[in-house]
């Protein structure tokens, strides 16, 4: 799944995104806003990436969407966003 704007692409997380995501999650500045805090290491981050990359295979009752955000020009990593649907009526 992709959402594309003039400058950004939000796409499904891929296994090859591991290094960028791990670097982001290990930054103290981003940990302030991450309810999970720091992962315990690259193995924990790899498990998160695997879970996020498999979200697209979930059923129509899917409630979580985690996107990798990158620039259109140059495909530079910007960050992650997680969208959780709490109430079905807002789907």
Q: How far is CA 70 from CA 35, 38, 87, in A?
A: 22, 22, 28
Q: What stretches of the chain adopt beta strand conformation (E)?
A: 2-4, 8-12, 64-71, 77-84
pLDDT given at position 32: 81
pTM of the full structure: 0.84
Q: What is the pLDDT of residues 25-78, one digit of tens each?
A: 998 888 788 777 778 899 999 999 999 998 888 777 788 889 999 999 999 999
Q: How far is CA 29 from CA 18, 22, 52, in A?
A: 19, 13, 22
Query: Comparing C-alpha atoms, which of 18, 43, 7, 89 is closest to residue 80?
Result: 18
């Amino acid at each position: 799944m992709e959402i594309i704007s003039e400058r950004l692409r939000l796409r499904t997380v891929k296994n090859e995104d591991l290094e960028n995501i791990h670097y982001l999650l290990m930054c103290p500045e981003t940990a302030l806003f991450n309810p999970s805090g720091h992962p315990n290491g690259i193995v924990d981050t790899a498990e998160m990436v695997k879970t996020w990359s498999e979200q697209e295979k979930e059923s129509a009752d899917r409630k979580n969407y985690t996107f990798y955000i990158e620039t259109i020009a140059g495909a530079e990593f910007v960050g992650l966003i997680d969208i959780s649907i709490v109430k079905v009526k807002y789907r």
